[in-house]
A and B are shown apart, each in its own frame.
Chain A
Amino acid sequence: MKRTVLSIAIAISMILSVACVQKGGNTNGTTAPTGDGIKVGVYGDTSGATSSFGQSTKNGIQLAFEEINAAGGVNGKKLEMVFEDDQGTPEKAKTVISKLISQDKVAAVLGEVASSNSLAAAPVAQEAKIPMITPSSTNPKVTEVGDYISRVCFIDPFQGSVMAKFAANTLKAKTAAILGDNSSDYSKGLTKFFEEEFTKLGGKVITKQTYAQKDQDFKGQLTQMRDQKPDVIYIPGYYGEVGIIARQARELGMTMPLLGGDGWDSPELWKLGGVSLKNAYISNHYSADNPAPEIQNFVKSYKAKFGVDPDSLAALAYDSAKVLANAIKVAGGTDSAKLKDAINTTKEFPGVTGKITLDGSRNAVKPAVVLELDAAAGKFNFKETIYPEGMTPPATTAATANSNVKPASNTNTATKNTATTNTAATN
């Protein structure tokens, strides 16, 4: 029994000493202490299964911060990025956000990509009253966590319905097949809302198949689909898998249009998919070929810095950093309540991914563009712009605040946030 006593005592004294070590280790080695900069926490996956997402996000934010600091910083203060790797798991995401907030004392947090990781981490930020902007978590639930959580990307209901509209109205498709990533919340969200809208428009989803991230072979699912002869195939996934799916679909002699979302947007897509990407369309935030200076400058400097073209995650991350910097300027400092209000009232912010306005549920409301893939040239060609319901296209009136957009406070009302098509290219 002596052993029990001792073992417990030793275990607990260890915990205590550990606590002291942790307490003392407040200074973080990864950031150079440069005095009165503004610390911004960034967390993402740079070593796990989705490390490509984390890397792009980190790059985008780094680029934005460097540009802002080169221009004199915000209110005379430099922005400092404190990055922590969460290995792509919700448990670690929550751990690193508590580190960023309680140890590094960051003024605001940017991240994550995967909605599940953001959902795990967001309550920590909300409880500590530290604003968190997620660049690319599209599940409506993320910002429902509280008023300190916002995002600069579309939510799933909007993007899913955009492609359904396009398939039914522009491509005149009657039947569709969906091949979704069952391990990704993003993909499941798009699948659900595409199917709802497509059915509403008189189409029929005749077969739904799923895969898991990191799968290499999709011919099983595709062969099954080939028998059903759908007019279009909707593949709401990420470029890594999509490039291979497109290739295998064409190898099986399937020539119907392939539809996708912003997850396809990456320079690697062309190398992975090659000519198989002919006759494919995606919904996206912006078109990299858009001549607007903010887009072209971003693409150019990103390529110069990191040696690759930016993907949509990098663009969104860049925008989230710029939105945050702008809000710090508006709030006149990093007082968290003021900063939160400044972020939540962001209006018409000219980002790379469109003019960003946050609605009552702190979701970005912005039009989506449909792009046609030009496989031979390896670029996206602008096809049409689709506006969220209630947002008037700038062709008729200046796209002002969209007060009549119903706040997408839950998935049910969010589905009403459907799209109105405006084929007149206002790009």
Chain B
Amino acid sequence: MNWLKTIIGVVVALAVIYVLNEMLSKTGFFGFGVDDYTGRILVFIAISMIMATSLNLINGFTGQFSIGHAGFMAVGAYSSAYFTVNYGKFLEGTFSFFGENVAIGIVLLIAIAIGAISAGIAGSIVGIPSLRLKGDYLAIVTLGFAEIIRIVILNIDAVGGATGYAVPGYASFLWIGVFTVITVVVVHNIVKSDTGRALISIREDELAAEAMGVNTTRYKVTSFIIGSSFAGIAGVLFAHYNKFLHTNDFQFIKSFEIIIMIVIGGMGSMTGAILGAIIVTLLPELLRQLPDIQIGATVIKFADLRLVIFALILILTMILRPQGILGTKEIMDFFKRKGAVTK
């Protein structure tokens, strides 16, 4: 029965993504459309979900302390963009006998493969030294590595350097939504598999895991490579949706944002990471709508204070609910308990 439920789930998810994609298009879905700005935010929520879910595999489930996830995203974005800018048009022509949309899809899939592989290689470069390092040391190495990637890209004029890099816009919401679902399903299945149990055992007690015969080295590197590959995919989708790349979009504040997502949502919770991705992407945008308040002659623009408020919310969440909104639980667990009682 399980496979049936999975299939139903994926079909439902794909149907919803299709409807959303139609809503984002010019004509709308039976007249119900959303504007460009809302569409952009939806896309960024989806991309954030990929980033948060993949980082959750490294940080939440394996217990490794990586705070340079934006670096892998940059590797995926720039490597695939270099490919599509230079060979995209040619390949589009080659595959054009399938029709324009299929040709674009094929090119995008190749780009995603390139992005995932190069980010995976970068992940293994960080992952292998990480075997020697733990905790904060690993954290600072991943941060440093991400900064080095950014500075190196900034100095490569072939990918735009300081001017930025114009990229063809192959990735529609449909593609991004599909890959979000794929990421969630794949990471979920990894976590529920033998591999996942090995990863969690490393998080809980590395020494004990090793004693139980878990090859901690192999699993730690694996989680790094898988996590960074998905970050690379997020980068590819970002590049080909945003149509413009600049190293300013991959500063360490971006890595922090992703960390904040998984911590706010609850480390080691799939739905938590997803919830965190929604909150952290949406909140700063919603805070733009804050009104001005006039006290005497001075007008306080609360919209200008939105980042201050965001930081305050972050600190308060940590103080009041340090395990994040969901902790290690999933949203469904809250419903399940109710069901158990009635039974």
Contacts and interface: CB of A to CB of B under 8 A. Distances in A.
Within 8 Å by CB, do A and B touch in the complex?
Answer: yes
Interface of A: 1-12, 14-16, 18-19, 21-23, 25, 28-30, 46-47, 84-85, 87-91, 94-95, 98-99, 101-103, 115-116, 119-120, 123-124, 128, 139, 141, 182-185, 187-188
Interface in B291-320: 291-292, 301, 303-304, 307
A19 B23 contact: yes
Contacts of B161: 182, 185, 188
Contacts of A124: 36
B76 to A, nearest CB: 15
A8 B36 contact: no
B5 A30 contact: no
Contact of B38 (A3, A19, A47, A187): A19
Contacts of A16: 16, 20
Given A29-B303, A30-B288, A120-B246, A5 B8 contact: yes
B19 to A, nearest CB: 9
A30 B301 contact: yes
Contacts of B243: 123
Judged by DSSP, the binding face of A is helix
B163 A139 contact: yes
- Residue among B155, B184, B246, B303 with max Cβ neighbours from chain A (10 Å): B246
Contact of A12 (B13, B285, B330): B13
Given A4-B184, A89-B251, A141-B163, 10 more contacts: A3-B270, A4-B5, A9-B12, A14-B274, A29-B290, A30-B288, A99-B37, A102-B37, A120-B246, A185-B161
19 contacts: A5-B12, A6-B335, A7-B184, A10-B331, A12-B17, A22-B34, A22-B37, A29-B291, A29-B292, A47-B307, A89-B246, A89-B248, A90-B242, A94-B244, A103-B35, A120-B164, A182-B161, A183-B162, A188-B163
Interface stretch (B39-47, B81-89, B123-131, B214-222): B39-47
Contacts of B278: 11, 14-15, 18
A11 to B, nearest CB: 5
A424 to B, nearest CB: 37
Interface string B140-170: 0000000000000011000001111010000
A261 to B, nearest CB: 16
A5 B13 CA distance: 8
Nearest to A94: B242
A350 to B, nearest CB: 32
B38 A88 contact: no
A89 B245 CA distance: 10
B282 A18 contact: yes
B338 to A, nearest CB: 13
Contacts of B271: 7, 10-11
Nearest to B302: A29
B10 interface: yes
Contacts of A15: 16, 20, 42, 45-46, 278
A124 B285 CA distance: 18
B249 interface: yes
A155 to B, nearest CB: 13
Given A5-B6, A94-B40, A183-B154, A84 B288 contact: yes
B164 A90 contact: yes
B248 A3 contact: no
Contacts of B197: none
B188 interface: yes
B13 A23 contact: no
A91 B242 contact: yes
Nearest to A100: B37
Nearest to B16: A12
Given A8-B9, A119-B163, A188-B161, A3 B34 contact: no
Interface string B167-183: 00000000000000100
Contact of B289 (A6, A25, A139, A188): A25
Contact of A3 (B23, B301, B304, B332): B332
B57 to A, nearest CB: 15
